[in-house]
Amino acid sequence: MTLEKLIITCAITGAEVTKAQNPAVPYTVRELAEAAKGAAEAGAAVIHLHARQDDGTPTQDAARFAEIIRAIRAVAPDVIIQVSTGGAVGMTRMERLQPITLHPEMATLDCGTLNFGGDDIFVNTENDIIAFAKALSEAHVDKELECFEKGHVDTVLRLVKKGLIAPPLHFSFVLGVNGGMTGEARDFKFLRESIPADATYSVAGIGRFEFPLAELAIQDGGHVRVGLEDNLFVEKGVLASSNAELVKKVVQIARRYGRDVATPAEARRILAMEVRP
Ligand code: KMH
Ligand code: ZN
């Protein structure tokens, strides 16, 4: 059986990683646009986007997102831009939803609360999830369902049954966050087998889990997210020089398994995304 083409998402900056950890982490509008261009040229169909101020402070400010999206569109016109509604730990619901006013093509929907290391808690109550799902649906924004553990997948399935989350269902298993589910092969298999047959999924392994999980998803017909938000190293002890380098490594793994890489147009079809004028 020929597997569907592989959709690569690149999470170029996130809200937590810093230039002190890896100088390639982009903060400014220009750095973010260059990172998105490099990732798209390397094979990413989707850019998972957080906004930062020039000093690296995470922000959900709509004007800042608009500026970054304009800059990305100028250099990577076709790529799917998936804005984060997760933002950073501690942000309010309304703060996190600000970029939805821009009607981006796609956005994340975080599907449960989890510890996030130290005293941090990434809060996504059931009412948050329902409110975010409603806001995305009303703004005609396609969603990626971020699940950090099995309870989050079960929450999605329950809310789908109640009509509070609408298909198509595209899951993102984010595995290896301190406080969430770890990213061993058995964890991946458990989640992968827990979603409906007609759902799609992408896997994002944090840190050392990034490439082993990518390889499992590639063999299984799933999709993959990589990027400096999730992992700063291209191999053990070697910092990645760019987001593009991480994407290129996934493309090489995909080639080994005979998996072609999807263009943004192909990704829109595979994910049954809303057709926009
Ligand atoms: N920065 C994390 C607290 C998302 O993008 O939707 C949340 C996050 C999830 O990165
Ligand atoms: Zn994110």
- Of 148, 132, 213, the residue nearest 180 (C-alpha): 148
User: Packing angle between helix 185-192 and helix 210-220, nearest 10 degrees?
Assistant: 40
- pLDDT of 2 over the 90 cut: no
Q: Is 122 in the pocket of ligand 1 (CB under 6 A)?
A: yes
Q: How far apart are CA 62 and CA 60, in angstroms?
A: 6
Phi (first) and psi of residue 205, to 5 degrees = -90, 130
In a 3-state reduction of DSSP, which class is residue 269?
helix
Q: How far apart are CA 36 and CA 163, in angstroms?
A: 35
User: Packing angle between helix 150-161 and helix 185-192, nearest 10 degrees?
Assistant: 10
Q: Is 180 in the pocket of ligand 1 (CB under 6 A)?
A: no
Tell me, what DSSP letter sits at residue 200?
E
Q: How far apart are CA 50 and CA 68, in angstroms?
A: 10
Nearest atom in ligand 1 to the alpha carbon of residue 84 is 5
CA triplet 132, 160, 270: central angle to 5 degrees? 85
Rounded alpha-carbon distances, angstroms, from residue 208 to 3, 205, 232: 26, 7, 9
- How far apart are the CA of 1 and the centre of ligand 2, in A? 33
- Closest C-alpha to ligand 1, atom 9: 86
Contact 36, 12 (CB under 8 A): yes
- How far apart are the CA of 249 and the centre of ligand 2, in A? 20
- How far apart are the CA of 14 and the centre of ligand 1, in A? 7
- Identify residue 241 by its one-letter amino acid code: S
- Give the model confidence (pLDDT) of 105-137 as tens digits: 999 999 999 999 999 999 999 999 999 999 999
- Give the model confidence (pLDDT) of 166-197 as tens digits: 999 999 999 999 999 999 999 999 999 999 99
Q: How far apart are CA 50 and CA 39, in angstroms?
A: 15
Q: Which of 116, 144, 146, 148 to mutate to test the pocket of ligand 1 (most atoms within 8 A of CB)?
A: 146
Q: Is residue 1 part of a domain?
A: no
- Closest C-alpha to ligand 1, atom 10: 86
User: What element of type H or E holds 226?
Assistant: strand 223-226
Contact 22, 239 (CB under 8 A): yes
Q: Is residue 71 part of a domain?
A: yes
pLDDT value, residue 275: 85
- Closest C-alpha to ligand 1, atom 4: 86
Tell me, what DSSP letter sits at residue 102?
G
- Of 188, 146, 178, the residue nearest 50 (C-alpha): 146
Instruction: Tell me the ligand closest to 15's alpha carbon.
Output: 1
Structural domains of the chain, count: 1
- Domain containing residue 37: CATH number: 3.20.20.70
Domain with 83, as residue range(s), is: 8-270
- The mean predicted confidence, pLDDT, of the chain is 97
Place of tokens 């076709």: 78
CA atoms within 13 A on the CB side of 99: 29
Q: Is residue 275 part of a domain?
A: no
Q: Is 89 in the pocket of ligand 1 (CB under 6 A)?
A: yes
- How far apart are the CA of 257 and the centre of ligand 1, in A? 30
Q: Is residue 218 part of a domain?
A: yes
- Give the model confidence (pLDDT) of 74-117 as tens digits: 999 999 999 999 999 999 999 999 999 999 999 999 999 999 99
Q: Is 88 in the pocket of ligand 1 (CB under 6 A)?
A: yes
